[in-house]
Amino acid sequence: MNMIRILASDGLDKSAVKKLCENNCEVVEKFYNAEELAKELCNYDVLVVRSATKVRKPVIDAAAEGGRLKLVIRAGVGVDNIDVKYAREKGIKVTNTPKASSASVAELTIAHIFSLARFVGVANVTLREGKWEKKAYKGIEINGKTLGLVGFGRIAREVAKKANALGMNVIYTDILGKLDGCDEFKFMSLDELLKNSDFISVHVPFIKEDGALIKEKQINMMKDGAFIINCARGGVVCETALLKALNSGKLAGAGLDVFEQEPAKNMALINHLNVSVTPHIGGSTVEAQKRIGMEVVSIILK
């Protein structure tokens, strides 16, 4: 049996690499830009990516022409950095690891809710600057507040359970409508959800052709003083509209782990005093990366 060559362009958990090497695989961990990646894929059977590597048509064309690449795995939830349909048309299978990081992303979502409610981020910064602004940071309790979840897949359901345990009232909307087995949470249309939520968290993919789901029109439907959290995908929430709403006071704050451009360069948004930010670390926990790694191993060996 020929050795399976795997390119993990955005890295892979060490235990997963060890397991693969024990099963007649060679794993190369190296990032390539799109042009270099297109040239290199003729040397690999499997490509494993996270968020940084983009697998678009030119890369897929080169891989198909090379004739060796059989499988692309997104080590994470979404696959929007891969032209999935086009790859499959070219005979390259595409899959992901949808379950492995759900708990980690859900916990970060809750962390941003707490950060916004109690000024954790900005108070941390000003205190380190030698300022004692105790009176400026009168927060709110999240107990009794309504959390609206836009999209109700695996991650959103994890958020719902945790938020419910913290005393929040959870409502949701989903493109599939009211979902079976979710009767403990109230379904609403998107418009209704926006009007009734104190906190809104988005859990949907970014579809380039459709653009942002949450634009100025949707923000204007929200309660004055509401908060929005995006740990899903950059672009789902329009950053221009969001910044305008924060500056006007329409929104009280935003928690962001993802951005329209990454690494993030919208410094006006990042440095806004009412914004809690993290650099796309939703799935970056020891536990999630081990689960993702083992799921990648299982997919490749199968």
Spatial neighbors of 282 by CB under 8 A, at least 6 apart, are: 101, 104, 105, 108, 109, 231, 257, 258
Q: Which residues participate in catalysis according to the annotation? A: 233, 262, 280
Could you tell me which of 40, 34, 29 has the C-alpha nearest to residue 66?
40
Rounded distance between C-alpha atoms, residue 31 and residue 29, angstroms:
7
Longest CA–CA span in the chain (Å) reads: 69
Is residue 170 within 8 Å of residue 147, measured between CB atoms? yes
Is residue 133 within 8 Å of residue 148, measured between CB atoms? no
Is residue 120 within 8 Å of residue 172, measured between CB atoms? no
What single-letter DSSP state applies at residue 199?
A: E
Residue 58, preceding peptide bond in cis (omega within 30° of 0): no
Is residue 203 within 8 Å of residue 152, measured between CB atoms? yes
DSSP lists the bridge partners of residue 292 as none
DSSP lists the bridge partners of residue 4 as 25
Q: What angle do CA 80, 241, 250 make, to 5 degrees?
A: 130
